[in-house]
Amino acid sequence: MAKKVSVILVNYNGMPHLDVCIPSILGQTYSNFEIIFVDNNSSDGSLEYARSKFPQLLFVPSEKNLGYAGGINKGLKYASGEYIAPLNTDTEAAPDWLEALVDFLDRNSRAGAVTPKILLFDERDRINTMGSNIHVSGIGFCRGLNRRDDGSKIPQKVSGVSGCSYLIRREILEEIGGVLEESFMSNDDVVLSWLVNLLGYEMYCVPEAVIYHKYKLKMNPEKFYQLEKSRHALLLYSLKPLTFVVLAPVFAFTEFLIFTYSLLKGRRYIQAEFKAWVAVLGNLRGFMRRRRQVQRLRKISDPQLLRKLKLNYEWKQVLHILR
């Protein structure tokens, strides 16, 4: 029998997107799925609108904004699917998006999660991302950003999925304790992918599955703080001490880049970086608990993990956010 998929939409004031996103999911060629609409305490009437126009959805309202990762975890509690498919609301899904992702996972037992080809919503011949390129220092880059789509349908092994859209086996998501919530927004996909890698699974971009995403590469101090907080925590609780010694030059260069970026962007970014370190070091008890959990989960060594990650920086993306 076809495996059931739980599509989790996390909504926060997403009114402008709902009339495109939800019908595109309802029109999928794959039929065995449910849509769980998690509302993060929206104030724009989008929850009430969705309830009235799309009553077939399962609605899970939250009394406070849990962030994207927290919203996925809340939806997971209500999900009945064997596969879980988080999806941003500012998207449009091609009709066979879900069918192509499910088919690949069904046929590849070593694949823990898959991500579609994500194209720019307003420039549909250009790539937003085809999975993530995750650097060994914990920075995630959009894979293929702004390249022209060549139409290839060949699945490609990637170091990480995109948080915009992915399909993951439910048992894996539950094994790692859901989407870890170090970051209120952004970087949840890097953390998730890192842990899926540690469990020894592979991840793929399946270009036959297509999502159109309203995406702009941009940064602000709050997002920078969230990214840096989760990145520092991830490295400290997942890597062995010897790995920090071996990769000291790489980590030192990355921190130099981050520090230089903060200086160039100004006082609020410097404060955000300092605040990120304080947040990580100020919660040592929680950090040690998370480290014990992750070390119990891991199925591969650090050298095996690092072979799945990237040593190169995506310089065009780095320079873009300096503007």
Q: For residues 45 and 123, is the Cβ–Cβ distance under 8 A? A: no
Q: Report residue 322's pLDDT band, with 50, 70 and 90 as the boundaries.
A: confident
Q: For residues 175 and 84, is the Cβ–Cβ distance under 8 A? A: no
Q: For position 321, what pLDDT does the model report? A: 84
Q: Which of 178, 201, 227, 192 is nearest to 72 (CA)?
A: 178
| pTM score, whole prediction | 0.95
- pLDDT tens digits, one per residue of 158-192: 999 999 999 999 999 999 999 987 776 778 999 99
Q: For residues 140 and 117, is the Cβ–Cβ distance under 8 A? A: no
Nearest-angstrom CA–CA distance, 249 and 272? 24
Q: What percent of the chain has pLDDT over 70?
A: 100
β-strand pairing of 202-213 with 91-93: antiparallel
Distance of CA 31 to the CA centre of its chain: 25
- pLDDT tens digits, one per residue of 245-292: 999 999 999 999 999 999 999 999 999 999 999 998 888 888 888 899
* Tokens at 260, concatenated: 């230089």
Q: For position 284, what pLDDT does the model report? A: 81
Element containing residue 127 per DSSP (H, E): strand 127-129
- pLDDT tens digits, one per residue of 29-69: 999 999 999 999 999 999 999 999 999 999 999 999 999 99
36: left (phi over 0), alpha (psi -120 to 50) or beta: beta
Element containing residue 86 per DSSP (H, E): strand 83-87
2: left (phi over 0), alpha (psi -120 to 50) or beta: beta
61: left (phi over 0), alpha (psi -120 to 50) or beta: beta
DSSP annotation of 310: B
Nearest-angstrom CA–CA distance, 292 and 300? 15
Q: For position 261, what pLDDT does the model report? A: 93
Q: For the chain, percent helix, then strand, then coil, each to nearest 5?
A: 45, 20, 35
What 3-state DSSP class applies to 17? Answer: helix
Nearest-angstrom CA–CA distance, 62 and 42? 9
Task: Please identify which residue in the block is written with the tokens 């998501």.
Answer: 173
Q: For residues 128 and 142, is the Cβ–Cβ distance under 8 A? A: yes
CB count in 10 Å sphere of residue 79? 22
Residue range 5-213, CATH number: 3.90.550.10
Taking each helix axis as running N to C, give the angle between helix 46-53 and helix 15-26, from 0 to 180 degrees, rounded to the nearest 10: 30
The domain ranges of the chain are 5-213, 221-320
Cβ burial, residue 174 (10 Å; 0-12/13-18/19+): exposed
Nearest-angstrom CA–CA distance, 46 and 54? 11
